[in-house]
Chains A and B, each alone.
Chain A
Amino acid sequence: MTKDLIVPAAEGLCCPPGNFYIDPWRPVALAVITHAHSDHTRWGSRAYLCHEDCAPILRKRLGDVRIETLRYGESREIGKVRLSLNPAGHVLGSAQVRIEHRGEVWVASGDYKLEADGVSAPFEPVRCDAFITESTFGLPIYRWRPQAEVMGDINAWWAENARAGRASVMQAYGLGKAQRLLRHLDPNIGPIVCHGAIEPLNQIHRDLGVALPPTLNVTALDKAGLARCFALAPHSAIESPWIRRFGVHSDAFASGWMQLRGNRRRLGVDQGFALSDHADWPGLLQAIAATGAERIFVTHGSDDALSRYLREKGYDARPMATEYGDEEGEAEPAGEVDTGGA
Chain B
Amino acid sequence: MKTFATLYRRIDAATSTQHKRQALTDYLRVAIGDPEQYASAAWTVYFLAGGKPRQLIPTKLLRQFVLAATELPEWLVDECYHSVGDLAETLALLLPPPTHVEDVPLDVWMNERLLPLRELDEPARLSALRGWVDAMPSGDRLPFFKLVTGELRIGVSKLQMTQAIAEATQLDAKHVAQRMMGYTQANRTPQAQEFVALVAPAEAAEDGRPLRGQPYPFFLAHPLQAPFPAFPELLGPVDDWLVEWKFDGIRAQFIHRAGEWWLWSRGEELVSDSFPELAALVEFLPDDIVLDGELIVVAPRSDARPAVDDLSDLRPFPELQQRLGRKLLTPKILRERPVALIAYDLLEKDGHDLREEPQRDRRVLLEEVVSRAHSSAIQVGADLPLRLSPTLLQPDWDAFARQREEARARGAEGMMLKAMGAPYGVGRQKSGANLWWKWKLDPMSVDAVLIYAARGHGRRSGVYSDYTFAVWSGPPEQTDRTLLPFAKAYSGLSDEEMRKVDATIRRTTIENFGPVRSVRPTMVFELGFEGIGSSSRHKSGIAVRFPRMLRWRQDKPVEDADTIEALRMLLPGGGA
Contact = CB atoms under 8 A, between A and B. Distances in A.
Contacts of B499: 334-335
A103 interface: no
B94 interface: yes
B461 A270 contact: no
Interface stretch (A120-128, A137-145, A217-225): A137-145
22 contacts: A140-B72, A141-B90, A260-B89, A261-B86, A261-B89, A261-B458, A262-B84, A262-B458, A266-B460, A266-B463, A270-B13, A271-B13, A302-B79, A334-B499, A335-B463, A336-B463, A337-B503, A338-B506, A339-B83, A340-B82, A340-B512, A341-B512
Contact of B94 (A140, A302, A308): A140
A206 B137 CA distance: 40
Nearest to B73: A312
A166 B142 CA distance: 29
B122 interface: no
B85 interface: yes
B15 A305 contact: no
Interface in A326-342: 332, 334-342
Interface of A is mostly: loop
Nearest to A262: B461
Nearest to A259: B93
A153 to B, nearest CB: 11
Contact of A141 (B83, B458, B506, B512): B83
A45 interface: no
Contacts of B460: 262, 266, 335
A69 interface: no
Interface residues of A, number: 31
Interface string B142-181: 1000000000000000000000000000000000000000
A262 B80 contact: no
A342 B12 contact: no
A255 to B, nearest CB: 14
Contacts of B459: 262, 265-266
Contacts of A161: none
Contacts of A340: 79, 82-83, 455, 512
A215 interface: no
A214 interface: no
Contacts of B85: 262
A262 B12 CA distance: 11
B79 A342 contact: yes
B533 interface: no
B79 A260 contact: no
Contacts of B84: 141, 260, 262
Given A141-B93, A262-B458, A262-B462, A342 B83 contact: no
A271 B19 CA distance: 14
Nearest to B78: A342
B535 interface: no
A261 B13 CA distance: 10
A242 interface: no
A260 B81 CA distance: 11
Contacts of A334: 499
A265 to B, nearest CB: 5
B369 interface: no
B135 to A, nearest CB: 19
A58 B86 CA distance: 41
Contacts of B279: none
A139 B79 CA distance: 8
Nearest to B505: A337
Contacts of A259: 93
Nearest to A266: B459
Interface string B168-206: 000000000000000000000000000000000000000
Interface in A303-338: 305, 308-309, 312, 332, 334-338
Given A334-B499, A335-B498, A140 B463 contact: no
Interface in B456-508: 457-463, 498-499, 502-503, 506
Contacts of A265: 458-459
Interface in A256-312: 259-263, 265-266, 268-271, 302, 305, 308-309, 312
Nearest to A145: B138
Interface string B8-36: 00001101000000000000000000000
B538 to A, nearest CB: 27
B9 to A, nearest CB: 11
Given A140-B76, A141-B84, 14 more contacts: A139-B80, A141-B90, A143-B93, A261-B461, A262-B460, A270-B13, A305-B76, A335-B460, A335-B499, A340-B82, A340-B455, A340-B512, A341-B512, A342-B79
Interface string B54-94: 00000000000000001011011001101111100110011
Contacts of A338: 506
Interface string B303-320: 000000000000000000
Interface string A226-270: 000000000000000000000000000000000111110110111
Contacts of B93: 140-143, 259
